[in-house]
Structure 1
Amino acid sequence: MPPKKRLGDDEATIQQLKRRRKKNGEDVDFGLTDSVESDEEQLDITLEGSLVNGEVLFSGGTNWCMTGRSHLPKGVKNIGGRNLWGPHRISNLCGVRVRTVVSGCVACHSVIITAEGKVMTWGRNEKGQLGHGGTVRKDLPTPVEGLSDEVIIDAACGKNHTLFITEKGKVFACGDNKMGQLGIGHQSTCMSTPVKINYKGPPIRKVACGGEFSMLTDIRGNLYSFGCPEYGQLGNNSDGKYFVTSNKLSYTCDLVPKKVQVFIEKTREGHIIPVADVEIREIACGLNHTIALDSKKRVYTWGFGGYGRLGHSEPKDEMVPRQVKFFDGPTRGAVHIFAGSTYCLALTELGSLFFWGQTKSTGEASMYPKLVQDLSGWRVRSVGCCNKSIVVAADESVISWGPSPTYGELGYGDHKPHSSTVPQEVKTLDGIYIHGVACGYGHSLYLARADTEANREKLERLPIYTP
């Protein structure tokens, strides 16, 4: 029986590959910190975005300056905006076919991608995260002119930055870059127009953004990270801390995408075993933690461990991706993963939705995955994670819950409760089929079916939001 591979064997394996490829007269560039193999850099493929499309509906806070804040930052003027407690159509998107809606659990801005692959953004813009060449907030979806020549298939929103993927697997970034979260090779206050990240390798298929860091995965299933390493959320076995002076702490940020080399599991005895053959299929980020799903339906989490958000039954930070043992075993694998600011969710192959972490500022946290009992029997299709609230599209309904205070992201309506500690159906969307949902810090985006005249008639009964 061969010995189990040790963590330190990565370098030996690469040396073996070097010798073998050199013998065959091939390129031998296998640096441990290199992003990719050079013979994969020139792949010319076309990636597909979402195959569904519909009309965008919106509920939640539209006062982008004050969402999630008790006071305004210096130099920012409050333009105002109200909470939309029920789903609204957006005035300049009525009848526009959209295939993807994007936001993030710590984001106060949103991205939509039209059926033609054109991208529009709106919301908070103090760091240029909308990509419009300035820092003026937008109250309605506005085309990103800097990407007008590209076909965009997906995007991700961090606290103050945004990533966009083109159909060729290239990634463009804009917004705050003080921690290197744009991956462009240097740190700066902000980039208000999209710039291509500093990456050469296989086409990128998925992107995810945390508060001040970013993750990528390519078509080979490799995982890359960059930005702030404070709690180990980059997965490179470091929190990047160093002392500038005897009492001033700072962080060494990764300014370009670097490959995550090691995935581990821990036994009950505390032994660390590397996990082999990891091909990442999905990634999601909370404020300071990350969750990933591989081709074998295994789940990994790492970063800040407070309140059980990593699902390892302990509040310890993890510096490298660690397998969540709950999802390891026959019929226990996960098929989709989701992340909120301080919690995670996973949908298993049997259709069960599991939650761990904490959504309430008081009360007990779930230190390991627990079944969301109220959704047993529902066929979950899409999950959106706000800062504290959760919105789920399942069967013919939308279900949401979240603790107070909320901004309208639950979508219950003007004269209904504004929060709920248990999942409730969103009756304001009765009869409207929702393809998918995406959530920001305090708002929800719904992609509603609009294929038939009957669909459109139901949408026309909803109020229209005009700033």
Structure 2
Amino acid sequence: MWLNRQPEDWSLSWGGSGAIYGWGHNHRGQLGGVEGTKVKLPTPCEALSALHPVQLVGGEQTLLAVTSDGKVYATGYGAGGRLGIGGTDTVLTPTLIESLQNVFIKKVAVNSGGNSTHYTYCTTLRTYTFCVILEALTADGEVYSWGEGDDGKLGHGDRSMCDRPCLIETLRGKEIIEIACGGAHSAAITSHGELYTWGKGRYGRLGHGDSEDQLKPKLVPMKIDSLAGLGVIKVECGSQFSVALMRSGSVYTWGKGDYHRLGHGSDDHVRRPRKVAALQGKKIISIATGSLHCVACSEQGEVFTWGDNDEGQLGDGSTNAIQKPRLVVALQGKNNKSCLWFCSYFGLEYG
């Protein structure tokens, strides 16, 4: 189940009468008040509908809702403090995250799937008109994070759990406008197009040229110098890799390279941002990642995919991995202008 009332963003289950419907796995109450552990048909979610949310986003057995007045509600599995309401109890109905009441949340960002994804972020940006997913930005461009802190992915300088939203002090004054998170690492973009990353560094997923974890030393989250001045406008954190979209329409990837998830034509690991050469000449306007594959949409409405394809997730009619971005022929002429922020998470990896 999902909802986002911004037409340029991903799809919705929002009835014409203003009702929200949910279905599927509900063992932890992640459908927000719907009864039953397995809901096989779309069922009205009265508690969620009453909130009139402008954004719904699901994590691993959790659901977050953002309302038009900047409030955030959470429901579902509470292990690791991922709901942000204090404690680790499971909650079966949408519950207000009280510690965020004094900031206006525009967007929340949540990483989905896998045992290493139990954390949440949100942001509040009064000066911007969009929202951020699984991290939280404030009116001053500040970032809050909460949940399990292993690998330093919360950005607070340690590996401790936070069961309530905590401000990431290192990002104060940076005017953060976009955020993203993977299973064990996170990223943020400033209003000047600078990119910061933190968390687990294995395989070079942070883009700093090494494989070191970044908890919150003096320079964490560190700016990725090789992208300075190019203007990053979008970032995605996949499973052990990262993708950045530049203002120019070019795409850079780095991190773990097997399954060809980086799109460079080899399975080599890349520890600094590297331009995806196969997209040269295409002005990309939207990107999305799954666990082991990527999607990019061009200004002309073309859709390109690459990476792992064992479940046919690349849309080329086969189950063969694709080493470099390839046009999805079946979508030609469909005027595609944006990719779903969430791609099916096939072949999850940990670490």
**TM bracket (short chain):** 0.7 to 0.9
Q: Distance in 2 between matches of 1:412 and 1:294?
A: 36
Give the equivalent residue in structure 2 for 1:50.
6
Aligned amino acid, residue 6 of structure 2: S
Aligned length: 311
Instruction: Give the counterpart letter for 2:268 in structure 1.
Output: E
Name 1:382's counterpart in structure 2.
286
Unpaired runs of 5+ residues, structure 1, are 1-47, 53-98, 102-110, 241-252, 264-275, 444-467
Report the CA distance between 1:49 and its aligned residue: 4.8
Higher strand share: 1
Match of 1:302 among 189, 193, 198: 198
Distance 1:201 1:374, change over 3 A: same
Residues 148 and 288 of structure 1: CA distance in aligned 2, closer, same or farther (over 3 Å): same
Is the 1:121–1:130 contact (alpha carbons within 8 Å) kept by the matching residues of 2?
Answer: yes
CA drift of 1:312 comes to 0.6
CA distance in 2, matches of 1:299, 1:441: 25
1:442 matches 2:348: no
Which of 329, 354, 377 is residue 252 of structure 2 equivalent to?
354
Does the CA contact (< 8 Å) of 1:391 and 1:400 recur in 2? yes
**If the length of structure 1 is used for normalisation, what is the TM-score?**
0.62
Report 1:101-120 matches (<5 A).
Answer: 101=11, 112=13, 119-120=20-21
Offset of 1:176 from its aligned partner?
1.6
Helix, strand or coil at the partner of 1:301:
strand
CA pair 310-112 structure 1, distance change in 2 beyond 3 A: farther
The correspondence for 2:274, drawn from 370, 373, 379, is 370
User: Using the alignment, how far apart are the partners of 2:150 and 2:325 within structure 1?
Assistant: 34
**Which residue of structure 2 lines up, in the alignment, with residue 336 of structure 1?**
234
What's 2:226 paired with? 326
| Match of residue 168, structure 1, among 58, 62, 69 | 69
Change (3 A) 1:112 1:373: farther
Matched, 1:311 2:267: no
**Residues 361 and 422 (structure 1), Cα distance of their counterparts in 2 relative to 1, 3 Å cut:** closer
Deviations 1:72-120 (A, max 9, x none): xxxxxxxxxxxxxxxxxxxxxxxxxxx633xxxxxxxxx6557887544
Mark the CA change 1:318 to 1:140 in structure 2 (over 3 Å): closer, same or farther: farther
Say if 1:340 and 1:388, in contact at 8 Å, map to a contact too.
Answer: yes
Q: Which residue of 114, 119, 125 corresponds with 1:213?
A: 119
Please identify the structure whose Cα radius of gyration is greater.
Answer: 1
Q: Take 1:401 and 1:115, find their aligned partners in 2: how far apart are those partners?
A: 36
Mean Cα deviation higher: 204-213 or 194-203 = 194-203
Q: Which amino acid aligns with 2:177?
A: R
Displacement of 1:422 in angstroms is 1.9
Q: 2: CA distance between counterparts of 1:311 and 1:191? A: 37
Q: Is 338-347 or 225-234 further displaced after alignment?
A: 338-347
Change in 2 beyond 3 A, CA 1:141/1:373: farther
> 1:337 is matched by which residue type in structure 2?
V
Q: How far 1:418 moved relative to its partner?
A: 4.2
Distance 1:100 1:143 in 2: 20
Q: For 1:382, give the aligned amino acid.
A: S
What's the offset of the Cα at 1:183? 0.4
- Provide the residue aligned with 2:143 in structure 1: 223
Alignment pair present for 1:234 and 2:154: yes
Q: 2:118 corresponds to which letter in structure 1?
A: E
Letter in 1 for 2:148: C
Shift of the alpha carbon at 1:167? 1.4
Q: 1:138 to 1:372 in 2, by over 3 A?
A: farther
Q: In the aligned structure 2, how far is the partner of 1:218 from the partner of 1:365?
A: 35
Identity, % of aligned pairs?
30
| Mapping 1:41-120, distance limit 5 Å | 49-52=5-8, 100-101=10-11, 112=13, 119-120=20-21
Aligned partner letter, 1:356: W
In structure 1, which of residues 401, 404, 412 is the aligned counterpart of residue 306 of structure 2?
401
Matches within 5 A, 1:29-40: none
Q: Take 1:433 and 1:350, find their aligned partners in 2: how far apart are those partners?
A: 21
Q: Per the alignment, do residues 376 and 155 of structure 1 end up closer, same or farther by CA in structure 2, a change over 3 Å counting?
A: farther
Measure, in 1, the Cα distance between the counterparts of 2:27 and 2:96.
21
Residues 195 and 232 in structure 2, CA contact (< 8 A), matched pair in contact too? yes
Kept in 2: contact 1:388–1:402 (CA 8 A)? yes
> In the superposition, relative to structure 1, how do residues 437 and 129 fare at CA in structure 2: closer, same or farther (>3 Å)?
farther
Counterparts of 1:289 and 1:419, CA distance in 2: 25
TM-score, with length taken from structure 2: 0.81
Q: CA offset at residue 290 of structure 1?
A: 0.6
Consecutive unaligned residues of structure 2, counting only runs of 5 or more, are: 112-116, 126-138, 261-266, 347-351
Secondary structure of the structure 2 residue equivalent to 1:128: coil
Q: Deviations over 1:49-86 (max 9, x none)?
A: 5244xxxxxxxxxxxxxxxxxxxxxxxxxxxxxxxxxx
SS in 2 for 1:147: helix
